[in-house]
Amino acid sequence: MTEDEKFAWLSGRMAIPVGDTKKPDGALGSAAFYPGIPRLGIPAQQQSDASLGVANTTDVRPGDNATALPSSLLLGATFDPATARETGEMVGREAVAKGFNVQLGGGANIVREPRGGRNFEYVSEDPLLTGIIAGHSVAGIQSQGVVSTVKHFALNAQETGRVLANSVLGLGALHESDLLAFRIAIETGAPGAVMPGYNLVNGDWASESEYLLNTVLKGEWGYPGWVMSDWGATHSTVKAALAGLDVQSGANLDPEPFFADPLRAAVVAGQVPQARVDDMVARQLRSLFAVGVIDTADTPDGAIDYMAHRLIAQRAAERGIVLLKNEGDILPAPRRMRRVLVIGRRADVGMLAGGGSSAVSPVGSLSVEGSAVMGVPMAKVYHPSSPLHAIKAESGAAQVDFVDGTDAGKAVEAAAEADMVFLFAEEWRTEGEDRPGLNLPDDQDALIAAVASANPRTVVIVQSGGAVAMPWLDEVPAVLAAFYAGSGGGEAIAGILFGRVNPSGHLPISFPRDVGQLPIPEQRDPATTTSNPGMPVEGEVFDIDYNIEGSDVGYRWYAREGLVPLFQFGHGLSYTAFDHRDLTADHRDDAVVATVTVRNTGDRAGATVVQLYVSRSGAGGFVPRLGGFARIDLKPGEHRDVTLRIDPRLLARFDATARLWVREAGAYTLRVADGALADGLNSSIVLPAASFTD
Ligand code: BGC
């Protein structure tokens, strides 16, 4: 490659027209484009967002639609690597058919901030679950010959002041939590690229953190792929290049084209070695070859089986939607009722989606005004899967009425007349801003309470981008957490409500009672000087002290502090019942392997998630951690022995000085339970001391 060819791959602008920036020649229109080198048989890089489907931000490719997967939280709730893989393959197939060869997927941040605007793009609050699920969706995408990223490396937990937030966390805790999630995702999925976040980590921007990029990622982990900045998240030339950043993405959003002429000048001045520039390019080529992009470059055929893909999205939602409460077994609802009422802002239209760069618009989506992210207007999208229509089809009810709930009086009146009410609550989250709190917006809490008092057979379906408070919980008999359920979400929800589908999702995040239970009850919101909350151009860097919780994120925080959340990580009900027996543990070939027998004791077929938690008191101790999990389908009366191998890192602490995982000698507790904080079946194992590198 000539120097010009190399440099054309080191700094790229958005391939979406923004302000004076035009779409580059040859670009399909998407997050980024880097020109091909036909002389060498190297195709252009056409990079598109993201994990939930192939995005078409601002309709830059007019009329180009795609299948929308359920949000990553809902994928996390399946606890199912196979579903992650299958949905990843679907995204990969659509990307290839549309001509994209790099997909900016693989959200692998752990959910530390329950109000976080992008929580729906992440899998869970747990490093093991996040790493496994994100890793399998990356593997699925890449199996189609499309590179996937993992992002946003690392500790990028909130949107408030996102480019000024300095995430502060001790290194031991960092490795045991957020870095462990990325490490497992990378081991599982071998993503071709890694995208650092907008934030700073312990004082350095993630995109120029010597520790994150050179020491850990490329050094200790031996990561062979490339590191592309987030869009507008590069802050320097020499520091970033020497710290391990390989590509400046979205350069038109940065104050300078750091990795274009300034990098050439730095090479000439001897500040950045030529070998570093060659490495930046070689890493990209390595991943493009490794994933098969170069081999498959000539074969896109444009054909997409949208019906089949919608069904994949629906099945994923059916496996992930969580039945939180079901008092008196009010669900599954009886079929052929006389009169059913559906309430919800757009419950006649479709499923709410999260906003920002990851938003996907299937054919027939409804877009209403949302927010602006980086100056680009981001619509609030409803995927065309109407729960009202699906309930009509699934229920066989003689009459299904609908009110949108904006007039509470009218909703209450209609509720009093109905045999049963299905109330769809919604909470929109978007990239660029966090939720101000945990309560549902627009007086929906009051609406739910009023409707429930008019009709005690009111079921609430919460569509949200994360945890929400439920001040009305005692007043309603049943609640479903549907997160954002994607292209087939309406049918999935109706299937669960009327019993075609036995619910099997388990919460991938804890739901706090209120913000008072959080490590940081009040988020600090630094004053910014632009009207765009996602991208302040001026302002002071400010610290977020994650040492308060350390590596004890989510359920581990509640366990450590003795707090009882509203719903705990791992919670999820079924229409059948399962029991666990005979938990044994063995120490073989340096790994701890646990076996438990699980049985379906009810009278319906269903899937359960065997959750194994590990903990230890005393030296080198820790509060419960998810040590292993398996999702299995069982017929009534059927039982199975399930074997789980515990990742050795989950029985150890990370010593950041020695650069080693250290396991103390002594007793470790194992527990199989239906939730991180629930009682269950206990066992223990005595282990010798051990230490090993990351
Ligand atoms: C987001 C990334 C995304 C990129 C390109 C940024 O705003 O943080 O996740 O991939 O835009 O659209």
CATH number at residue 439: 3.40.50.1700
How is the chain split among helix, strand and coil, in percent rounded to 5?
Answer: 30, 25, 45
Ligand 1 pocket mutation pick from 23, 57, 431 by most atoms within 8 angstroms of CB: 431
Between CA 491 and CA 353 the distance in angstroms is 15
Q: Are residues 360 and 427 in the same domain?
A: yes
> Backbone phi, then psi, for 541, in 5-degree steps?
-65, 140
The whole-angstrom distance between residue 677's C-alpha and the CA centroid of its chain comes to 22
Provide the pLDDT for residue 535. 53
User: Does the CB atom of residue 651 touch ligand 1 within 6 A?
Assistant: no
Token duo for residue 444: 């929906």
Provide the pLDDT for residue 531. 45
Q: Are residues 333 and 257 in the same domain?
A: no
Q: Which atom of ligand 1 is nearest to the CA of 104?
A: 10
Q: Are residues 247 and 352 in the same domain?
A: no
Ligand 1 pocket mutation pick from 30, 152, 357 by most atoms within 8 angstroms of CB: 357
Residue 363's CB is within 10 A of a number of other CB atoms, namely 12
Between CA 360 and CA 363 the distance in angstroms is 10
Query: Cis peptide leading into 50, omega within 30 of 0?
Result: yes
Q: Are residues 64 and 109 in the same domain?
A: yes
Is residue 528 in some structural domain? no
Between CA 43 and CA 298 the distance in angstroms is 9
pLDDT tens digits for range 116-165: 999 999 999 999 999 999 999 999 999 999 999 999 999 999 998 888 89
Is residue 545 in some structural domain? no
Q: Are residues 77 and 148 in the same domain?
A: yes
Nearest CA to ligand 1 atom 11: 231
> Helices marked H in 143-210 — which ranges?
171-176, 178-189, 210
Q: Are residues 281 and 421 in the same domain?
A: no
Is residue 94 in some structural domain? yes
User: Does the CB atom of residue 318 touch ligand 1 within 6 A?
Assistant: no
Nearest CA to ligand 1 atom 6: 231
The whole-angstrom distance between residue 629's C-alpha and the CA centroid of its chain comes to 18
Q: Are residues 70 and 7 in the same domain?
A: yes
Supply the DSSP symbol for 298.
T
User: Does the CB atom of residue 230 touch ligand 1 within 6 A?
Assistant: yes
CA of 370 to the centre of ligand 1 (A): 17
Q: Are residues 95 and 185 in the same domain?
A: yes
Between CA 334 and CA 340 the distance in angstroms is 11
Token duo for residue 315: 């099945």
Report how far apart, in Å, the C-alpha atoms of 372 and of each of 378, 430, 526, 531 are: 5, 10, 19, 9
User: Does the CB atom of residue 50 touch ligand 1 within 6 A?
Assistant: yes
- Of 654, 656, 670, 663, the C-alpha closest to 687 is 663
- Beta bridge partners of residue 147, listed in sequence order: 102
CA of 197 to the centre of ligand 1 (A): 9
CA of 438 to the centre of ligand 1 (A): 25
Residue 37's CB is within 10 A of a number of other CB atoms, namely 16
User: Does the CB atom of residue 235 touch ligand 1 within 6 A?
Assistant: no
Under 8 Å between Cβ of 649 and 625: no
Q: Are residues 232 and 351 in the same domain?
A: no
User: Does the CB atom of residue 151 touch ligand 1 within 6 A?
Assistant: yes
Provide the pLDDT for residue 620. 85
Domain boundary pick from 433, 467, 497: 497
CA of 358 to the centre of ligand 1 (A): 8
Residue 302's CB is within 10 A of a number of other CB atoms, namely 8
Across the beta sheet with 165-168, the strand order is 204-205, 200-201, 165-168, 542-545
Domain at 53, CATH number = 3.20.20.300
CA of 483 to the centre of ligand 1 (A): 21
Is residue 401 in some structural domain? yes
Cβ burial, residue 619 (10 Å; 0-12/13-18/19+) = exposed
Kindly report the three-state secondary structure assignment for every residue of 491-543.
Answer: HHHHHHHCCCCCCCCCCCCCECCCHHHCCCCCCCCCCCCCCCCCCCCCCCCEE
User: Catalytic positions, please?
Assistant: 230
Between CA 58 and CA 210 the distance in angstroms is 35
Domain at 656, CATH number = 2.60.40.10
Q: Are residues 23 and 137 in the same domain?
A: yes
Kindly report the three-state secondary structure assignment for every residue of 216-271.
Answer: HHHHHCCCCCEEECCCCCCCCCHHHHHHCCCEECCHHHCCCCCCCHHHHHHHHCCC
Domain boundary pick from 475, 497, 519: 497
> Helices marked H in 418-455 — which ranges?
444-454
User: Does the CB atom of residue 233 touch ligand 1 within 6 A?
Assistant: no
How many Cα atoms are found within 13 Å in the side-chain-facing hemisphere of 586? Answer: 9
Between CA 322 and CA 77 the distance in angstroms is 7
Token duo for residue 452: 């429930």
Provide the pLDDT for residue 529. 44
Under 8 Å between Cβ of 93 and 313: no
Nearest CA to ligand 1 atom 2: 230
Domain boundary pick from 481, 497, 513: 497
User: Does the CB atom of residue 357 touch ligand 1 within 6 A?
Assistant: yes
Could you state, in chain order, the average pLDDT of each consecutive group of 10 residues for the chain (694 residues)? 98 90 92 96 96 94 96 98 98 96 98 98 98 98 97 96 93 98 98 98 98 98 98 96 98 94 98 98 98 78 91 98 98 98 97 95 89 74 96 98 98 98 97 94 97 98 98 98 98 98 98 97 70 56 95 98 98 98 91 97 98 94 97 98 97 98 97 98 96 94
User: Does the CB atom of residue 121 touch ligand 1 within 6 A?
Assistant: no
Residue 341, H or E segment: strand 339-344
Nearest CA to ligand 1 atom 4: 231
Taking the CA atoms of 365, 370, 373 and 376 in sequence, report the sign of the dihedral they define.
positive
Strand 458-463, strand 420-426: pairing: parallel
Nearest CA to ligand 1 atom 8: 230
Report how far apart, in Å, the C-alpha atoms of 202 and of each of 99, 153, 154, 535 are: 39, 13, 11, 20
Q: Which atom of ligand 1 is nearest to the CA of 47?
A: 5
Q: Are residues 635 and 668 in the same domain?
A: yes
The pTM for the full model equals 0.97
Provide the pLDDT for residue 589. 76
Token duo for residue 405: 């709930």
Number of domains observed in the structure of the chain? 3
Q: Are residues 313 and 285 in the same domain?
A: no
Between CA 375 and CA 179 the distance in angstroms is 31
Across the beta sheet with 376-383, the strand order is 351-352, 376-383, 366-373
User: Does the CB atom of residue 163 touch ligand 1 within 6 A?
Assistant: no
Between CA 5 and CA 48 the distance in angstroms is 22
Is residue 446 in some structural domain? yes
User: Does the CB atom of residue 33 touch ligand 1 within 6 A?
Assistant: no
Is residue 299 in some structural domain? no
Is residue 286 in some structural domain? yes
Q: Which atom of ligand 1 is nearest to the CA of 55?
A: 12
Is residue 569 in some structural domain? no
Residues counted in the chain: 694
Q: Which domain holds residue 99?
A: 3-290
Question: What is the distance in angstroms between the CA of the first residue and the CA of the last residue of the chain?
Answer: 35
